[in-house]
Amino acid sequence: MKDLKSLSLGQVLEKAAGEVPEKTAVVDGKKRIIYKELNAMVDALAVGLAEIGFNKGDRAAIYMKNSIELMVAFYALQKLGIIVVWINPIYRKTEAEFILNNSEAKGVFIFNEWDGYNYLNDILKLQKELSNLELIIVAGNGRTESVYPFYGLMDQGVGKTPPSVFINPGENLSMLLYTSGTTGCPKGAMITHSAAVRAGWEYSLGVNAKADDIFIGFLSMSHSYGCGAILIQPILLQSTVVLMDKFEVEKAFQIIEREKVTLQLGAPPHYILELNHEKRPNHDLSSLRAGMIAGMIAPEGLITRVEKEMGVYLISFWGASEVGPGLGTMCPYPSSLDIREKYIGRPIAGTRMRVLDPATHQKLPDGEIGELTLSGWHVMKGYWKNPEETRRQIIDGWLFMGDLVSKDKNGFFKIYGRTKDLINRGGYKIYPYELESLIINHPNVDQVCVVATPNPVLGESICVCVIPSPAETITLEEIREFMKDKIAPHKLPDELCIVNDFPKLSGGVKIKKFGKGGLAELAEKDANRERIRK
């Protein structure tokens, strides 16, 4: 790690190209790119970008699916000292407009079209409204005065030396990671080169990832988790990453089998879908040795199921855009199944964590639930152009995250959800995770999420939102009966809402509980939800 602290992200790629030039770096469909080819593509694009007017300190948005083109664009911008602005490819015009405007992005990288959406049409419309957006780089057809073909720019730079740009890894920004905006407008977390490099390294420690590992990359690289774990980590380790532009269970099985994938980094829904897929026994997944799980709290028993049924050492951790593209906790490798099932780990090296009373900010003793606060090298520099929100979130060097946790006597942290998840039912405080961890054990429940709905007498009711197991049904009475001898009576759910899927936040991983279209709103408006009869 000592050698990495002084490297920028561009230098990380150059180091890999110099040390393992012939090794496969990226597989994207039928394309297989070795390290020296990847670095040459990056250098050529960097030349082309410099020639059309990009300079150190400019912002450039990457609004692309997982692809070789995204990786080349990212590392080319890093070499030039240009700050990458991430836009999730599932975003549409209004969401992209806010980020492009707020970041004052000079340019944007897109595909003409992907997954049924025409990016170029909407970006051209936005360009007329945004004075800062000068350059559009398209992986696709055509060029106009402000639209440049991705591969045309690369061809323009072949055989030329990229400009030499001095980058201070500890001070110069690598990227802006925008939050999902569920509690207001999205905010751009400012992340330096050194924080991004070290984050990539810290991911590897949870599963003992090394150069001979092969990653499957279906997490969106525009998201904090995917950026650090899939875009940066494999290049840092000089390993191989096999890309997927979106997750499809059987396609993932085929890739794991064909490419002998060893590491899979995902979220709980990815593993649940894999466990329950009828064709899993038809595929040889024996190469898969380990994985990570994050984005939402892992349902009780999921890590155990994955280990017993798939033979995969699975570990969960805690992270956020504000400490992106990395993490704050990790269980040391190897840890027992019991530890990994219960905890999100200990603070990673160079990190301090406290558990505070959310109201008084007083430190709480071990075992009590309170708000997580942390400080360390990975905390963002602040929110882009938002000093007021920065002051609200970072107090005396401590980042306040709004996550509810407890710490045991051995320093391991357990997570219970967000402070805003807390349900106040007639003055009783109820943690949804406590209920979810029980309900998930019901044989007819595939996935569960507990939210509050309005109650004219008690203030809030406990509403259980369930995705039933395939071909099964479930009733509120059955759930209450299943729980009644396990928890206090006031924690028994009042309502049941049956759903086919949970709405997700922008990263496609976390459940969207609040705001317009969130699970709480859907449950409240569901006329068919079952209520307890008194």
- Domain CATH for 510: 3.30.300.30
213 within a domain of the structure (yes/no): no
Residues 6+ apart with CB under 8 A from 205: 330, 332, 333, 348
- Which residues have a Cβ under 8 Å from the Cβ of 32 and sit 6 or more positions away? 24, 26
Q: Tell me whether residue 235 is in a domain.
A: no
Report the pLDDT value the prediction gives residue 532, as an integer from 0 to 100.
Answer: 85
* Strands, sheet with 59-62, edge to edge from the N-terminal-most edge strand: 147-149, 135-139, 107-111, 59-62, 83-86, 173-178, 188-192
DSSP-derived secondary structure for 53-64: T--TT-EEEE--
Based on the fold, state whether residues 341 and 291 are members of the same structural domain.
no
In this structure, the answer to whether residues 327 and 308 fall within a common structural domain is no
Contacts 24+ apart (CB under 8 A), 123-131: 123/63, 123/96, 125/93, 126/93, 126/96, 126/97, 126/100, 129/97, 130/97, 130/100, 130/101
Q: Beta strand pairing status for 329-330 and 313-316? A: unpaired
Question: Strand 240-243 and strand 24-28: pairing?
Answer: parallel
Q: Which portions of the chain are predicted below pLDDT 70?
A: 1-2, 141-145, 181-184, 506-508, 534
> CA 190 to CA 85: how far, in whole Å?
10
Residue 249 CA, distance from chain mean position: 19
The reply to whether 359 falls in a domain is: yes
**195 is a domain residue:** no
User: Helices (DSSP H) in 193-267: which residue ranges?
Assistant: 193-207, 224-226, 233-237, 249-259
Q: Are residues 328 and 278 in the same domain?
A: no
pLDDT, tens digit, for every residue of 149-175?
999 999 999 999 999 999 999 999 999
Paired residues of 290 in beta bridges? 263, 313
DSSP 8-state assignment for residue 242: E
Q: Are residues 32 and 15 in the same domain?
A: yes
User: Within this chain, do residues 73 and 86 fall inside the same structural domain, yes or no?
Assistant: yes
> 480 by DSSP, 3-state: which?
helix
CATH number for the domain spanning 168: value is 3.40.50.980
Q: Strand, coil or helix: what is 282?
A: helix
| One domain for residues 75 and 167 | yes
Backbone angles phi, psi at 454, to 5 degrees: -65, 140
> Which residues, 6 or more positions from 489, have their beta carbon under 8 angstroms from its beta carbon?
none
Q: Are residues 332 and 300 in the same domain?
A: no
| pTM greater than 0.85 | yes
pLDDT recorded at residue 510 = 78
- Whole-number Å distance between alpha carbons of 71 and 77: 10
CA 208 to chain centre: 20
Residue 11's Cβ-count burial label (10 Å; 0-12, 13-18, 19+) is: middle
Tell me, yes or no, whether 128 lies in a domain.
Answer: yes
User: Which residues constitute the domain of residue 441?
Assistant: 422-531
Token pair, residue 403, equals 């996550």
Rounded distance between C-alpha atoms, residue 446 and residue 468, angstroms: 5
Encoded amino acid at 305, one letter:
R
| 461 Cβ contact list (under 8 Å, min separation 6) | 425, 452, 453, 454, 455, 494, 495
In a domain, 293, yes or no: yes
Last residue of a domain, one of 394, 421, 448: 421
Last residue of a domain, one of 388, 421, 454: 421
- Rounded to an integer, what distance in angstroms lies between the CA atom of residue 399 and that of residue 500? 36
Q: Are residues 64 and 179 in the same domain?
A: yes
Residue 334, preceding peptide bond in cis (omega within 30° of 0): yes
Tokens 């990190």 appear where?
351
Q: Are 344 and 300 in a shared domain?
A: no
pLDDT on residue 141 = 63
3-state secondary structure of 471: coil
Q: What dihedral do alpha carbons 128, 130, 136, 140 form, nearest 10°?
A: -60
Contact 491, 484 (CB under 8 A): no
Cα–Cα distance, 248 to 498 (Å, whole number): 24
Please give the angle made by the CA atoms of 447, 453 and 458, to the nearest 5 degrees: 130
Q: Which of 190, 216, 233 is the last residue of a domain?
A: 190
User: Looking at the 3D structure of the chain, how many domains does it have?
Assistant: 4
Are both 106 and 36 inside the same structural domain? yes
236 domain residue, yes or no = no
Any idea of the CA torsion for 497, 443, 422, 183, to the nearest 10 degrees?
Answer: -60
pLDDT at 63: 98
What single DSSP character describes residue 232? I
Q: Which pLDDT tens digit goes with each residue over 35-55? A: 999 999 999 999 999 999 999
287 lies in the same domain as 410 = no
Phi first, then psi: give them for residue 210, nearest 5 degrees. -140, 180
Specify if 207 maps to a domain: no
**What pLDDT, on a 0 to 100 scale, did the predictor assign at position 507?**
64
My answer on whether 466 and 482 are in the same domain is: yes
